[in-house]
Amino acid sequence: MEKIKLFTPATIANVSCGFDVLGLCLDTIGDEMIIRKTNKKGVRITKIVGQNLPLEIEQNVAGVAVLALLEKVDTPYGFEIEIYKNIKPGSGIGSSAASAAGAVFGVNKLLDEPFSLQELIPFAMEGEKLASGTAHADNVAPALLGGFTLIRSYNPLDIIKINNPKELFATVIHPQIEVKTADARAVLKKKVTLKETVVQLGNLGGLISGLYTEDYNLIGRSLHDEIVEPSRSILIPEFDNVIAAAKKTGALGGGISGSGPSIFALSKGKLTAEKVGLAMAKTYKNLQIDFDIHVSKVNANGIKTL
């Protein structure tokens, strides 16, 4: 194989009660990438369409991720990368993760897969470190593995793929405002109470159990963040009203996607998810803020070859 074309999906991190440890992969929202082998060693990003992002390898998350991979494998080849961005940076649905994960996935395929999908995650995390200052995995893991992923531990890295109920759909509203990850981190409380921790652990356990048993009511009851969203939601206009409108329309529950500003809701069935999108849009229609609505099933497979 000399060339590969990929769909690199958007992702939702945290999923309410799973701050920094839980993520899910989307299906209808994502970037495309084309990666080619070259005879000249090294990595070049030759084209980025859709967003104004750096072509310089050391300043681009895809380039940094591939460099990390190439440090671990001896190859006579080099690689050229084209990126077609459909996920807006800063949207809260894993724009940098799509580029970093897609780049290492594609290069690994062209090298006849010396690494497993699990083994690619640390390389993609290096791209996330460039983007946000932290080598986190809650977006790149679901992008590479598909479905829901749980990060049990970062040291050592231990990531588990969680069962994906077949009728589960996500609706995402992306307000065209910027919430910087640094700002979203800055508003978080430095300490949490034992009571808050117990509530959060109960919800996380309930959500994992609901995903495995495909108990949609339990999933809905568990989509509650006791620790992070109360602080971060003040950065997102109409957050409480959007969640209330989604639930009233039939959503199981929802929350902030990543560090925002996108808001997600999970629903049983595509029809309900589409109705939830209309309700979310109605909540935003009187604001002087543009927005996008995305409806997607949970993508069980992650990145795919086109």
Residues tagged active-site: 128, 181
State the DSSP string of 150-202: EEEEETTEEEEEEP--TTEEEEEEEESS---HHHHHHTS-S---HHHHHHHHH
Distance CA 185, CA 182 (A): 5
At 17 the three-state DSSP class reads coil
CA distances from 226 to 25, 190, 236, 247, 276 (A): 23, 14, 17, 18, 23
CA distances from 81 to 3, 50, 251, 271, 286 (A): 10, 15, 39, 37, 41
Distance CA 85, CA 95 (A): 8
CB of 263 closer than 8 Å to CB of 254: yes
